[in-house]
Amino acid sequence: MRTLKLTIAYDGTRFVGWQRQASGESIQGWLEQALEPLEGAPVTVHGAGRTDAGVHALGQVASVCLNAGHDPMTMLRALNAQLPHDIRVRAVEEVGADFHARFSARRKTYRYLLRNAPLASPFDRAFAWHVPEPLRLAEMAEAAAVLRGTHDFAAFRSAGSDVTTTVRTIYRSEMRDASEEQHLPDTGNAGGLLAYEVEGDGFLRHMVRAIIGTLVDVGRGARTVSSVAALLEGGTGREQAGATAPAHGLYLVGVDYD
């Protein structure tokens, strides 16, 4: 028995999310389906994070235990030959038996894209949240910086989570103008692409999307920077933070391990 680490990119638009479900197509389900003929038996794939329906990934990580003796490059080619074109395995590596994509992870990085312009590119439809009214980027960046450090993020957690603590450590939290970066195609008259990037030791359910909803409130002038700091003081209900931003602007950028 050997353990493989898979690094995966996917366009989450048409999937029910990472996790296999009773109905609908999932990333986990497709990977297990592609691996089964290579193993000659059903397999279980474990992901670093359970991205929701519509969320994308540039560097999702999964682990799987197999008896199959194919070398990593053969596995890479075989998997991509079986998978739909909106899921790509970027790398296959053989790792130690104690490696687990979820439990061995130390940090994750997410990115959220917003198109802040009166007109959105047609390519934004599934890949960025269109916010047409002007936003105060400097204040959003200031509020984003407040989130750095170890805090209680209960106000940014959606219901349905079974975690034992809502305390998380955020190492990086940055809001920037990304108009000159090549994240998305552009029609030439859209502009106004904003990117929020956050790196932490773990994230609660819908936490990044709740942060974005709160930062957009700040950008609209509906919330102050100091009010964001107050949300981190503990004992704060979800209703006091901003709305949950749409899933289609969110990307799992990468997962770091020891």
By annotation, the residues acting in catalysis are 52
CB 112 within 8 A of CB 127: no
Q: Which of 174, 170, 171, 175 is nearest to 153 (CA)?
A: 170
Measured CA to CA, the distance from residue 81 to residue 226 in angstroms comes to 51
Measured CA to CA, the distance from residue 43 to residue 4 in angstroms comes to 12
**Terminal-to-terminal C-alpha distance of the chain:** 22
Tokens of 243: 């709305």
φ, ψ for residue 169, nearest 5 deg = -110, 125
Taking the CA atoms of 188, 189, 190 and 195 in sequence, report the sign of the dihedral they define.
positive
CB 134 within 8 A of CB 116: yes
- Which residue is it, tokens 């805090």? 151
E strand intervals along 11-104: 46-47, 56-66, 87-95
User: What count of residues does the chain have?
Assistant: 258
- Return the C-alpha torsion angle 147, 153, 157, 161, nearest 10: 130
CB 59 within 8 A of CB 255: yes
